[in-house]
A = this chain, B = another copy of it.
Amino acid sequence: MKIAITELRQKIEKTLNKNLNNDQARVVADYLLWAEMSGIKTQGIVKMIGSEPIQDIQPSGEIKVERDTKLSQLINAGANAALLVSNIATDTAISKAKEHGFSIVGVHNTFSSNGALSYYTEQIAKQDLIGIAASRSPGSTAPFDSIDPLFGTNPISFSFPTDNQPIVFDMATSAMTFYGLILANAKGESIPENMAIDHEGNPTTSPGIAMDGALLPFDRSYKSSGLGMVVEILTGPLTSAAYCDTALTGEWGSTFMAIDPNLLVDIAQFKSQCSDLVQKIKSSRKKHGVSEIRLPGEKSHNLYLECVKSGQVEVDEVILKQLGYV
């Protein structure tokens, strides 16, 4: 059902106030509204229901800066919500890169997932910086030739400023998201073929059996497996988080980087060429049956703009009812 964005924001912030102060609640609400408005429903306010709703997170410690240099910061999240701490990390990455040209911020010991990484890299690109973000989660994906779930679904995102909306690319290095498994399992549906294997390495289309087995890397070969490994290293060993964590007990980790294009070329030229590149792709000849070539993130951004214009967002009524919002 449609709900007014201002009304939804008030309700979300009030719910989040359970364990977060007003500023913190606003930061998390910003993300949740962005995800809903962008049509990224699996990473939106669905995070407020289920067995681990984010408003119930009781952090075991403070957010602590464990290392700080001109170009970098390592943050121990103290089991605070990833949605909160990753925003802080993004702001830090932006301010350091604005001043020094580059930054890398590592976060470990967050509670659960950051949501969609494109949210953070978009913020970085809006500040005229190139953004890179990556995250590891507990083991769910088997490396190429292995049948053990050593890697997380390990998303990575890149963003680039243009003269208009930034180019924002975001993908899991697994064939599907772990949330996709949870959702299919809850609905009693099967998953497509060639996405996952059971514990012994046999193909399966059962999401429950896949959760006990492993997802496959997205191209089912060494390339996406290698990319999954790259993310595992950048967000595991590089942030003091866990890695190759099949016991599912280790720390989640994320890394945010920002690069000032001015280090190599003039920012105005860079942005204008990135805009031109978008136009060249969009105006290229289309594959038979394709009506429009969309850049990564374009569809989500259009949905977001529609919501801004109408002041309303479409939200699953079941979720709104569970939260007592309607």
Contact = CB atoms under 8 A, between A and B. Distances in A.
Given A74-B264, A145-B286, A296-B229, A219 B218 contact: yes
A240 B223 contact: no
A270 B238 contact: yes
Given A286-B147, A290-B145, A101 B69 contact: yes
Size band of the interface chain A makes with B: 35 or more
A240 B263 contact: no
A273 B236 contact: yes
Contact of A147 (B106, B144, B233, B287): B287
A239 B264 contact: yes
B106 A264 contact: yes
The copy count of this chain in the complex is: 2
Contacts of A43: none
A181 to B, nearest CB: 18
Nearest to A202: B288
Contact of A236 (B71, B230, B239, B277): B277
Interface string A44-71: 0000000000000000000000010111
A265 interface: yes
A141 B267 CA distance: 27
Contacts of A237: 265, 269-270, 273-274, 277
A21 interface: no
A158 B243 contact: no
Contacts of A70: 101
| Top 10 closest pairs, chain A to chain B, by CB | A72-B263, A237-B273, A219-B219, A148-B284, A169-B226, A244-B280, A106-B264, A146-B284, A145-B290, A158-B230
Interface of A: 67, 69-72, 74, 100-102, 104, 106, 130, 142-148, 150, 158, 160, 167, 169, 171, 201, 218-219, 222-224, 226-227, 229-230, 232-234, 236-240, 243-244, 255, 259, 261, 263-265, 269-270, 273-274, 277, 280-281, 284-288, 290, 293-296
28 contacts: A67-B264, A72-B101, A72-B264, A102-B102, A143-B281, A145-B286, A145-B287, A145-B290, A146-B284, A146-B286, A147-B285, A147-B287, A148-B285, A150-B281, A169-B226, A169-B230, A219-B219, A219-B224, A223-B224, A226-B296, A233-B274, A236-B277, A237-B265, A237-B274, A238-B265, A240-B264, A240-B265, A244-B281
